[in-house]
Structure 1
Amino acid sequence: MSVYLVTGAAGFIGYHLAEYLSRDSRNIVICADNHVRGEQDSLYQELTARANVTAYDVDLTRPEEVRKLPGQVDYLFHLAALNGTQNFYQRPYEVLRHCTLPAFHLIDYYGRPDSGLKRFVYASTSETYAGTVDSFNWPVPTAEDVPLVIPDPGNPRWSYAASKLHGEVLVHQAGSSKGFPFTIIRYHNVYGPRMGDKHVMPDFARRLNESRFELYGYTDTRSFMYIDDAVKATVLCAHESETAGETVNVGGTKELSMLELAEMMMDISGIKGQLELHPSPRGSVSRRAPVIDKLLRLTSYREEVPLEEGIKRTLDYYLTDEQN
């Protein structure tokens, strides 16, 4: 029996991770979320009603709220954050607040020698090195040893990247000084059902459903990883001894432009129309894709859901009547 704490469990990756872990009745899964972004929808309610799942509605930016959580867990997956590209621009202060304070409070609470913690898994992002790629023409696909750069502190776009860069430094130094094992995962454009509406795929799917064909940042390129693959990679990284103390890229290997992505989504959905092409928002990164050699070398991870199948599953979710 293992006890897993998943923060941000009502969010996208957090929900799917908690749901996956809860399928094994021997696991005890603790879900923590303040619902600043994560939804208390029927799927989350169904998850938290399972016999081996307990939900805590707590604000992790407040240490007294963190102390309401069980004092001992085996694995802590810290995914709680205020994510979403629109939030970076519209709510940068709240993004910084919700992405920095919880890490401090969780480390103070679970970094104790008697906490029983086997692994602190910190969810980081490829956004931490996005400025390096554009400012210094760093190679893409990009490995974990890339320098981390914030090119413009005055641009609200970088609120999320700066907070996650801060989190990586914090986890490294806290883990070393307090003596708890950790793994940092840099997610690269994970997608799938129930990811909200502030990311490129659900946002474009919503426009398709409304017969609006605006596409922003059409020349930018990304690689994508389906949520089921991301969850399995995350669990493997948590359990593998070789990943302790490591930063690991988790993402897909097929890089494509946003124009190619939009055309694939239209082809798979069968929705036809004339695309209206627009430039990216200020600060958007032109290219991003990971080198995942470390993930493949240190774990048994192999991709199971190809891009076309993942997009189909995602569109099936977002183009149904109940989602629009």
Structure 2
Amino acid sequence: MSSILVTGGSGFIGSALVKALVRDGHAVRVLDDNSRGAPRRLQEVASDIEFIGGDIRDAAVVARAVKGVDEVHHLAFVNGTEYFYSAPELVLDVGVKGMINVIDACRSEGVGKLILASSSEVYQTPPSVPTDESAPLVVPDPTNPRYSYGGGKIISELMALNYGRKFFERVLIFRPHNVYGPDMGWEHVVPQFAQRVKAMSAAHPAGRLPFEMQGNGRQTRSFCHVDDLVAGVLVMRDRGEHLGIYHVGTLEEIEIADLASRIAAHGGREVELIEKPAPAGGTERRCPDIAKLAALGYEPKVTLAQGLGPTVDWYWANENLAPHR
């Protein structure tokens, strides 16, 4: 069994990965400042892990967290589309400084194994759908703050791969595609739609719910349940090749308007879609080609029909945890 550091380990994906690694018998250390993560996500394994509170941008803290581990899983980043627009400088500051600090700490402490969480946002508008790992990485408009996230992930990938060739024995990169599940945060489409449906249901006890949509709602995404994401990362960790890049997701593509309808239907309601202008920089279609990871044994098991209801229920039951705006 290995000693593993997970940066961003109290985040949504990070905490799910931490719990899976603990179940598999690994010694797990978590580095997070809980600025967007939440200690409650790690409550069930709190006595089984070592937690270091600190900022990924603090080189001394990162070096202390890396010391003595066998491998690092680097997930610390600022996610959530609203942050891409409202705080792009923070997204880049955390992303780029964090990656530099992780690589420097691994080199100074002799840690030769690194797993990096990237993103489907590195393509922005992919040339083909489903999209495989060879699609070009693109920042189509550097003046659009949205690309702070995708740009930061591209920089992180470049650093992991190019330092990996010389200074690491094993570097692996996974690109998650629209991961969802209970307690995933509040800045994403599923929780935002769930909150809106509940609020509008209270305001409109009868009839169809007037539901504003950015654009016409025909944009598509392929939503991957967090359990499948973690399973994919573990398959990659066990069998992936050095400097390998792997998509983790599903092939179940759905229109965003249909997503809104399904969430409303879960509460016994119907929606009337109202088209509003969409912010610049969105992507019309996103669906990963997962053949590369499937060849290693990955097979997503949780359909959207199975995973969406429990996720929506969690948000309806935990409104008190939503940040006050």
Say whether residues 1:89 and 2:107 are aligned partners: no
Partner of 2:62: 66
User: Structure 2 CA distance, aligned partners of 1:316 and 1:195?
Assistant: 13
Cα displacement (A) at 1:124: 0.5
Partner of 1:256: 254
Q: 1:113 to 1:22 in 2, by over 3 A?
A: closer
User: Structure 2 CA distance, aligned partners of 1:245 and 1:160?
Assistant: 22
Partner of 1:216: 214
Partner of 1:157: 146
Partner of 1:201: 190
8 Å CA contact 2:22–2:45 kept in 1: the answer is no
Alignment partner for residue 121 of structure 2, among 107, 122, 127? Answer: 127
Q: How does 1:37-48 map to 2 (within 5 A)?
A: 37-40=36-39, 42-44=40-42, 46-47=43-44
User: Structure 2 CA distance, aligned partners of 1:3 and 1:167?
Assistant: 23
Cα distance per residue 1:207-242 (max 9 Å; x no partner)? 1111173222412111110000001101111121x4
Cα distance per residue 1:161-220 (max 9 Å; x no partner)? 000011111100010121331111111101111111111000111111111732224121
Cα distance per residue 1:92-124 (max 9 Å; x no partner)? 000001111111111111135833x4x311101
Cα displacement (A) at 1:275: 2.9
Which residue type is aligned with residue 35 of structure 2?
A: V
Cα distance per residue 1:38-88 (max 9 Å; x no partner)? 123x333x14522x2011111111211112214122231111000100000
- Could you list the runs of 4 or more consecutive aligned residues of structure 1 that deviate by over 4 angstroms after TM superposition? 321-324
Identity of aligned residues (%): 35
Partner of 1:9: 9
8 Å CA contact 1:224–1:251 kept in 2: the answer is yes
Q: Which TM-score applies when normalising by structure 1?
A: 0.91
User: Structure 2 CA distance, aligned partners of 1:203 and 1:191?
Assistant: 12
8 Å CA contact 1:7–1:14 kept in 2: the answer is yes
8 Å CA contact 1:48–1:54 kept in 2: the answer is no
What 5-or-longer segments of structure 2 have no aligned partner? 201-209
Cα displacement (A) at 1:323: 4.8
* C-alpha RMSD of matched pairs (Å): 1.7
Cα displacement (A) at 1:245: 1.3
Partner of 1:23: 23
8 Å CA contact 1:72–1:110 kept in 2: the answer is no
**How many pairs were matched up?**
311
Cα displacement (A) at 1:279: 3.5
User: Structure 2 CA distance, aligned partners of 1:285 and 1:251?
Assistant: 17
Alignment partner for residue 280 of structure 1, among 275, 278, 283? Answer: 278
Cα displacement (A) at 1:269: 3.0
Cα distance per residue 1:271-304 (max 9 Å; x no partner)? 334332324211111111111110101x211111
User: Structure 1 CA distance, aligned partners of 2:281 and 2:66?
Assistant: 41
8 Å CA contact 2:260–2:271 kept in 1: the answer is no
Partner of 2:225: 226
User: Structure 2 CA distance, aligned partners of 1:198 and 1:232?
Assistant: 24
User: Structure 2 CA distance, aligned partners of 1:243 and 1:140?
Assistant: 24
Which residue type is aligned with residue 219 of structure 2?
A: D
8 Å CA contact 1:207–1:214 kept in 2: the answer is no
What 5-or-longer segments of structure 1 have no aligned partner? none
8 Å CA contact 1:121–1:182 kept in 2: the answer is yes
